[in-house]
Each structure stands twice: as C-alpha cells, then as structure tokens.
Amino acid sequence: MRKEVLFSGFGGQGVILASVILGRAAAVYEGLHAVQTQSYGPESRGGASRAEVVISDEPIDYPKTLHPDYAVFFSQEAYSKYLHTVKEGATVIVEKDLVPHRDLEFEKKLNVIALPLTEIAEETTGLSLTMNILTLGILVGVTGIVSRDSIEKAVRDAVPHGTEEINLKALRKGFEIAENLKS
Amino acid sequence: MRYPFPVGKSDFIQGDEAIARAAILAGCRFYAGYPITPASEIFEAMALYMPLVDGVSIQMEDEIASIAAIIGASWAGAKAMTATSGPGFSLMQENLGYAVMTETPIVVVDVQRGGPSTGQPTLPAQGDIMQSIWGTHGDHMLIVLSPSTVQEAFDFTIRAFNLAEKYRTPVVLLTDAEIAHMRERVYIPKPEEIELIERKLPQNEEEAKLPFGDPHGDGVPPMPIFGKGYRTYVTGLTHDERGRPRTVEREVHERLIKRIFRKILDHKDEIISYDEFMLEDAEIAIVTTGIVSRSAVRAVKMLREKGVKAGLLKLNTIWPFDFDYIEELAERVRKIYVPEMNLGQLYHLVKEGANGKAEVELIAKIGGEVHTPMEIVERVVG
C-alpha cells in the first residue's frame, strides 16, 4: 500500500504544517512508513508552497509523489500547476474561493470536494488560519488514510502550545463535513 | 542521563534533526558552527540540546573558525562536530587538512546544495563528492559517509563518531538538502542500544611521549588530552612521532603520511559499507550514493517488471573507495549506470574501478531535483 498526498498553496496557509501532521500521524501513531518533503520559495509568506507525504506499510523507496492519490489545492497557481499530475479517481480538496478557474472536464475523472475552506474555518474557530487543520479533518474523514485518533494526537503534538483546543475544533469540524459528504 | 528528546521510540523528524540527536547520543558535547541553509537546523537543534546535556554549542565568526574550534575541543577531550553546506565546506578545507595531519577525531557534516558558490541554497545536489574526498591540499586520507534516508542520517552520524574516535581521523558525513529537510520515521534508540567507540588514551608516560607514533602497530597512536598532565605539541607541520616539527627530512614526512594512509586503508574492509538490491543475477548494475539511491531502488523494481535484470549497489561509504569490488562487479555485469546529482563525480571513481571490464555510463542531473525513477529506467532501456 503506497499512498501519495500532495498539499499545495501559498506560504502562510499552513501547507507544510498540515503535511507534517499527516506524516506524523502515520509514522508515530499508526506505525506506518511515512516521508514528508517540501518545497517553497525564499519568501516566508505569499510565495508558492508545496508539500508532499508518502505513506506506506513497506519501506519507502522514491520519497516524492509521482501521481498523488490525494491532493489539496489552496491557490489558483497550485491548482493550475499540479491538478493534472493527480491519479485518476484521486480525492481532491479545493479551496473554492481561492481557485476561481477550474478545469471541470478534468475534474470529472476525480472525486472533487470544493468548499470555501477559509470561510468555514473562520466561522468555526474565529481564525481563518485554522483552515489547514480543518482541511486535514476533511481529508482524513473522507479517505481514512489514518485514523481520527492518530491525527488528533499528531495535531496536539505539532501545533503551537496553547492552540491545541482551537485546532482540534477545526479538525473535528472537518470530520463533520466529511460525514455529511458521505451521507 | 536524561536526554532532551524521547529515546527508545520512533519519531517523525527531519534529517538535520536526526543528525543532531545522533550526535548527542554518540557523546558529542561540543558543537561550533556558522548558520547556512540547508544545515542550519542542525545548529538550531544543537543550540537547544547542548545546554541540557552539559555540552557547548557556540556560533563562531565563520566556518574557518568553526572547524578550528572543534579541533581544539577534540584535543581537550570532547567529541566535537560542525555542520555546513558547500560555501562553508570550501572554507573548512584548510583546517580539514590540519585535522588529518594532527590526527584529530572530528565529525564534519556537509549538507550539499546546488553550487558552485552560493548557487541554489535551498535545493539538493551531490556536487561536493570530490571535494569531500580531495578538497584539502596535499596527500591525505579521511573517511566520507553518505546516507540515503533520515534513519541512515541518524545511524551514520553515530558511525561517523565511532570511526573518528577509532582511527583518530576527521570523518565527513556527506548528505544533501533533500535528506536534511525531509521528515521521515526514524527510530531513536536508547543509549544502551548504541555501541560507542572511544579514542585510545595513553596508558603510560612512554605512550604519551609518542602521540604520533604507532605503539600498537595498527597505525593509530593513543591521543593525549590537553590538561591531563602530558606535555604535547600539536602542529600541522610535518612532525616526528613525538610531535616535533621535522620539515625537511624526506623519511619523516613519508613515515607520517604513509601511516596516516595505512591506518585507514589497512582497515578499509571494516570502514567500507554498502547495500545491494537484486544484484546477484543482475546484468545491469546501477551504482549510487545518497538520496538518488532511493530513485534507483524503484527504477530496479520497474526494470525487473520489464524483464531487465537490473540491480543496485548503494555506497554508504564513499571514501575509502572499494575499487576492487567495483572491478569484480564489472566482470559480472554487462553495463554499469551511475545516476548522480552532478555532472560526473562518483562516475569517475566507478569507471576507474570498473577498469574497462564493463561499460560505465553517467546519468547526470543538476538543478535541484532528484532523478525520478522513470528518468533512470528510460536511460537503461533506451
């Protein structure tokens, strides 16, 4: 079982943190092999940001994603650049308000979840920057790539001290959205 | 002893962090450095951990001073390390030679990024292979290790300290920006699970008088420690067994330099380490080191699916180099491919080893991206 996950957007959206949390949940709490890699421009905010996670029950050879099974797009630039690299049938989460121009024809081959993620995060926690954790909740809720328990533990480990509860609130809202999508 | 990070369990950390934790567990208690991408996280971790284990982490004015400081710390009895990337590694070359000449156990980490000069600071490369071996001037011998995963970055760091102590030599841990910044599952062992080697100390006055002699016949003299009661003279000038400068006698120079070579090369079977994957019946061999090895493992699997009998030789030690084993391999296979993230460095070593017994082809890639498995497969199947 090798699963490839791509997170992409711009700097400041928590793209890399989301990928670290998912990798940590798999590696530390599920006993799976996991590799997280990242690439970003020299600027800390505003530049393009991309992170990848590969999860497997066997040792991981090539550590990068080739054809992601799951992808998250938080910006138009990321969507336009990487949408066509995802595997047919991939589950793809799109920040609807930040990706106005979509390739709906290509999306027919995918399982696309397009939502105003930033807005939902702000409504849920009062902080738009919990959008990355909300998205992790949706991703894990929909795909079951790791258990909810594992991702909760990894969120607690990785977010800044004192923000655990607010982030878990965002995560659980993501689980709830996933449940509603399934039913 | 309490450690400032969990031991006896797996964690999910970057290669740089793994190197720092391994150094602490190997007993490193002195770190000197100058920040540089992509090695800065090693320094950050050391700055955090060292005060908690009664060690020292110090920022020096530059990389020249950083390696000088760890050489001094080593002579004062500490296991010592510095870490840098290409531009800083270039600055360290003179004192790397000083560490070779004075037989000082130190560990120097070079996290390779795109070069020359400041090049591509955030991106991986393997352009320092030759520099890690031959960067300093004069006839010299040292050890270079090259990890391909975060776990290996951890394990090889511990091995680097053990080899440095055992052979009284500088050891270079040559890694790259990809492994340094990649997070991966890594098992951090408990101290009792780790085998550590400590340097030989003089057992009596006689041994202490010959800090550059060979009292045990293995080429490795016991190392007196400053402040422990012995009078010792340490110099980069050619010196006799007692450490006194003897700069014009041919015999003294030859005896010293040949012993420095011999103490490593006589033990090369123990120092050299490699891993093989599907190589037993291979007709095509791929020879790699570092991060590219992982693309090559996948390439071998893909080639086997296509019916091509391919196999991989992954070099964990790149210096000393096992030229004889490469020749043996070249006799067994039809062709050898060398994918590397430079325009041809390991390739030349492999070609020399193959000695014309098999064709050797370079698969070069520069610019900051690791070869994809497909790029290797396509070159092999044409």
Domain boundaries defined on chain B: 9-193, 274-381
Determine whether the interchain pair B183/A23 forms a contact, defined as Cβ–Cβ distance below 8 Å: yes
Determine whether the interchain pair B12/A36 forms a contact, defined as Cβ–Cβ distance below 8 Å: yes
Q: Which two tokens stand for residue A127?
A: 């902080």
| Torsion angle, alpha carbons of B272, B278, B280, B286, to 10 | -60
Determine whether the interchain pair A36/B183 forms a contact, defined as Cβ–Cβ distance below 8 Å: yes
* pLDDT for the residue numbered B229: 86
From residue B319, alpha-carbon distances to B155, B169, B265, B266, B274 in Å are: 17, 13, 10, 13, 12
Fold of the domain spanning B274-381 = Rossmann fold (3.40.50)
* pLDDT for the residue numbered A44: 57
A133 close to A167: Cβ distance less than 8 angstroms: yes
* pLDDT for the residue numbered B118: 96
Sequence-separated (6 or more) residues with CB below 8 Å from residue B174: B110, B112, B128, B129, B132, B144, B145, B146, B290, B318
Name which of B43, B276, B312, B365 is nearest B180 in CA terms. Answer: B43
Determine whether the interchain pair B12/A64 forms a contact, defined as Cβ–Cβ distance below 8 Å: no
Q: Which two tokens stand for residue B174?
A: 């040559």
Residues of B in contact with A24 (CB under 8 A): 12, 183
Q: Is the pLDDT of residue B313 over 60?
A: yes
Q: For A21, phi and psi rounded to 5 degrees? A: -65, -45
Determine whether the interchain pair B372/A61 forms a contact, defined as Cβ–Cβ distance below 8 Å: no
| Chain A: closest CA distance from residue B10 (Å) | 6
* pLDDT for the residue numbered A47: 77
Nearest-by-Cβ selection for A23 from B12, B122, B301:
B12
Nearest-by-Cβ selection for B185 from A34, A61, A64:
A34
Average pLDDT over residues A141-148: 97
Question: Please, what are the domains in chain A?
Answer: 2-117+139-161 (3.40.920.10)
Query: What is the CATH superfamily name and number for domain B9-193?
Result: Thiamin diphosphate (ThDP)-binding fold, Pyr/PP domains (3.40.50.970)
B39-57: b or e for each residue (b if 16 or more CB lie within 10 Å)?
bbbbbbbbbebbeeeebeb
* pLDDT for the residue numbered A45: 62
Q: Which two tokens stand for residue B40?
A: 């800065």
Q: Is the pLDDT of residue A123 over 60?
A: yes
Among positive and negative, which fits the CA dihedral B185, B187, B188, B194? negative
Asked, colleague to colleague, whether B9-193 and B274-381 share their fold, the answer is: yes
Q: Is the pLDDT of residue A60 over 60?
A: yes
Determine whether the interchain pair A63/B294 forms a contact, defined as Cβ–Cβ distance below 8 Å: yes
% of chain A residues with pLDDT over 90: 91
% of chain B residues with pLDDT over 90: 98
Give the three-state DSSP class for B309: coil
Continuous segment of H or E residues that includes residue B358 = none
Task: Give the pLDDT band (50/70/90) at residue A41.
Answer: low
Give the three-state DSSP class for B350: helix
* pLDDT for the residue numbered A39: 83
B305-336: b or e for each residue (b if 16 or more CB lie within 10 Å)?
eeebbbbbbbbbbbbbbbeeebbebbeebebb
* pLDDT for the residue numbered B197: 98
Residues of B in contact with A38 (CB under 8 A): 181
Q: Is the pLDDT of residue A144 over 70?
A: yes
Residues of B in contact with A33 (CB under 8 A): 185
Query: Rounded distance, CA B381 to CA B278, Å?
Result: 17
* pLDDT for the residue numbered B154: 98
Tens of pLDDT, residue by residue over B121-151, are: 999 999 999 999 999 999 999 999 999 999 9
Determine whether the interchain pair B184/A34 forms a contact, defined as Cβ–Cβ distance below 8 Å: yes
DSSP B18: H
Average pLDDT over residues B312-327: 98
Tens of pLDDT, residue by residue over B176-201, are: 999 999 999 999 999 999 999 999 99
Q: Does the complex come out with an ipTM higher than 0.85? A: yes
Tens of pLDDT, residue by residue over B19-78, are: 999 999 999 999 999 999 999 999 999 999 999 999 999 999 999 999 999 999 999 999
Tens of pLDDT, residue by residue over B78-131, are: 999 999 999 999 999 999 999 999 999 999 999 999 999 999 999 999 999 999
Name which of A56, A67, A53 is nearest A31 in CA terms. Answer: A56
In chain B, which residues touch A (CB < 8 A)? 10-12, 121-122, 178, 181-185, 291, 294-295, 297-298, 301, 370, 372-373
DSSP A26: I
B168-192: b or e for each residue (b if 16 or more CB lie within 10 Å)?
bbbbbbbbbbbbbbbbbbbebeeee
Q: Is the pLDDT of residue A66 over 60?
A: yes
B334 close to B284: Cβ distance less than 8 angstroms: yes
Give A95-122 as a DSSP string. Answer: EGGG--S--HHHHTTSEEEEE-HHHHHH
How deeply is B137 buried, as exposed, middle or buried, from its count of CB atoms within 10 A (0-12, 13-18, 19+)? exposed
Between A131-143 and A15-24, two packed helices, what is the crossing angle to 10 degrees?
A: 40
Query: Rounded distance, CA B328 to CA B336, Å?
Result: 12
DSSP B308: -
Q: Which residue of B has its CA nearest to A25?
A: B12
DSSP A28: I
Tens of pLDDT, residue by residue over B237-249, are: 999 999 999 999 9
